[in-house]
Amino acid sequence: MALNNNYLFIVCIVSSLVFTAKTQASSQKPIYVTPYWGYSFPDSIESEGGITISPDNAGLFGVTIEGNYGKQSLFNGRIGFTAQHMKMQTKGFDDDGSATFFHFQSSSHYRVAPMLTSFIGLSLGGTLMDASWSKQNILLSGGAFFGSDFFINNNARIRLEARWLASRVDGSTTANCQQATGTQACDVNIDSDWLSVYQTNLGVSFVF
């Protein structure tokens, strides 16, 4: 499943870049493509029976593609798509999982200095979850983010971003977990809880 998620992530990025090129060919509005790397800090959730689901901190990589709307002199909105992939190794469980997020997002950008803009936005989409403790592979997820773009020139910017993502986890399953007596099958029953992930990201935005 993790390998399939990686292939799907690459296919989505390539498809998005092809779509971007076609859109740019028929429009004079700029398109912003931002590959980024970061580090995630997942929260924990509780399963009935006292089992704690606590994924490890992990690195991530992703890409955001955006376009302008409502552009003004000191403010403009952006709407677009972001996709990212991260490992989801969980304490006490015998598997190396992953999470891949696919979100549509909208943000507001404000010019605070000649070579600096700040932004804040919201996102909504889904999560492909590859983890033994999750019964569902596709989860509803949403998020919020803020940050700043530092201009290198008219066609490139350095982006610093903080992002919060939350995925709705629900359902019962059986997974191998580590107990005091050794590894054994555990019943994992999660009743409509939200798994939050906090991130710090660094990227480079290219303007086409």
pLDDT at residue 12 in the model: 54
pLDDT in tens, 87-137: 988 888 877 789 999 999 999 999 999 999 999 999 999 999 999 888 899
pLDDT in tens, 165-205: 999 999 888 888 877 777 788 888 888 899 999 999 999 99
Whole domain around residue 187: which residue ranges? 31-207
Confidence check: pLDDT of 24 > 50: no
Domain count, the chain: 1
**For the chain, where are the E strands, in sequence order?**
31-42, 45-47, 51-53, 58-69, 75-89, 96-113, 116-130, 138-153, 156-179, 182-207
Residue 45 lies inside a defined structural domain of this protein: yes
Closest CA to 2 of 131, 91, 194, 179: 131
Residue 11 lies inside a defined structural domain of this protein: no
Residue 197 lies inside a defined structural domain of this protein: yes
**Rounded distance between C-alpha atoms, residue 197 and residue 178, angstroms:** 24
pLDDT above 90 coverage of the chain, percent:
59
Assign residue 148 the CATH number of its domain: 2.40.160.20
Residue 1 lies inside a defined structural domain of this protein: no
Residue 15 lies inside a defined structural domain of this protein: no
Q: What is the mean pLDDT of residues 24-47?
A: 84
Confidence check: pLDDT of 25 > 50: no
